[in-house]
């Protein structure tokens, strides 16, 4: 469990204070439920061919949300998506890491609703 808490601390960045107590509770629940790190999506994500050349085919509005200090996927990936997806709203968050902290939920919901209202 300590490994998980420290991993999420590393992922977090500094845009929002790290909620250690909340993360400990979430990690304890995950470990109790049966934790299998090898089942994570990282294996699939990093072993799949690039789809960058197909981003221009996206025909619906898209929200690109990315932190500037993401230690897993560099922010340049968001810039690449923003350049390739025709109708996008890029939300680049200073000092945010790889996770979406709960305090950002209201703003994320507002931005998603704006996009949803534009679609038919």
Query: For residues 98, 101, 88 and 44, what is the CA-based torsion angle, rounded to 10 degrees?
Result: 40
- pTM, rounded to two decimals: 0.83
| C-alpha distances out from residue 48 to 43, 70, 75, Å | 9, 20, 19
Can you read off the two tokens belonging to residue 15?
Answer: 């845009």
Q: Looking at residue 34, what is its pLDDT?
A: 80
Q: Looking at residue 46, what is its pLDDT?
A: 74
Domain harbouring 24, CATH code: 3.40.50.1820
State the total domains in the chain. 1
Q: Looking at residue 120, what is its pLDDT?
A: 65
Q: Looking at residue 44, what is its pLDDT?
A: 74
Q: Looking at residue 114, what is its pLDDT?
A: 94
Q: Which residues contact 98 (CB under 8 A, 6 or more apart)?
A: 11, 12, 13, 67, 70, 71, 72, 73
pLDDT (tens place) for every residue of the chain, 120 residues total: 888 999 999 999 999 999 999 999 999 998 888 877 766 777 777 788 888 999 999 999 999 999 999 999 999 999 999 999 999 999 999 999 999 999 999 999 999 999 999 876
Backbone angles phi, psi at 19, to 5 degrees: -90, 85
Q: Looking at residue 5, what is its pLDDT?
A: 93
Domain that holds residue 110: 2-118
Q: Looking at residue 67, what is its pLDDT?
A: 97
């Amino acid at each position: 469990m300590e490994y998980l808490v420290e991993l999420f601390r590393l992922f977090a960045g500094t845009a929002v204070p790290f909620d250690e107590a909340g993360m400990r509770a979430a990690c304890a629940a995950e470990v109790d439920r049966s934790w299998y790190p090898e089942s994570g999506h990282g294996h699939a994500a990093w072993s799949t061919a690039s789809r960058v050349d197909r981003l221009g085919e996206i025909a619906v509005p898209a929200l690109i949300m990315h932190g500037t200090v993401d230690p897993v996927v560099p922010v340049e990936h968001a810039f690449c998506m923003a350049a390739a997806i025709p109708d996008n709203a890029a939300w680049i968050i200073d000092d945010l890491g790889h996770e979406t902290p709960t305090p950002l939920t209201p703003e994320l919901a507002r931005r998603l609703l704006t996009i949803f209202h534009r679609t038919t």
